[in-house]
Amino acid sequence: MKVLCKEANMGYEIILRHREDGWIVAECPGLPGCVSQGKDLAEALANVREAIAGWL
């Protein structure tokens, strides 16, 4: 399953994918290689926000 999530405070689109093992992968396609994951939605979004900050 793929979900698009527009992060208003960061201005980047985030794509969320649910993996078979239960983890959620969060990818920011506007920043090549900027990918993270989490056990739930909140953790995945927090982790990808941190990845975006590191990428920038």
Q: What is the CATH number of domain 2-55?
A: 3.30.160
Check: CB of residue 38 under 8 Å from CB of residue 21.
no
| pLDDT at site 49 | 87
What residue segments make up the domains of the chain, in order of their start? 2-55
2-38 per-position pLDDT tens digit: 556 565 466 788 889 999 999 999 999 889 999 999 9
DSSP class of residue 34 equals: -
Residue 13 DSSP SS3:
strand
User: What pTM was estimated for this model as a whole?
Assistant: 0.80
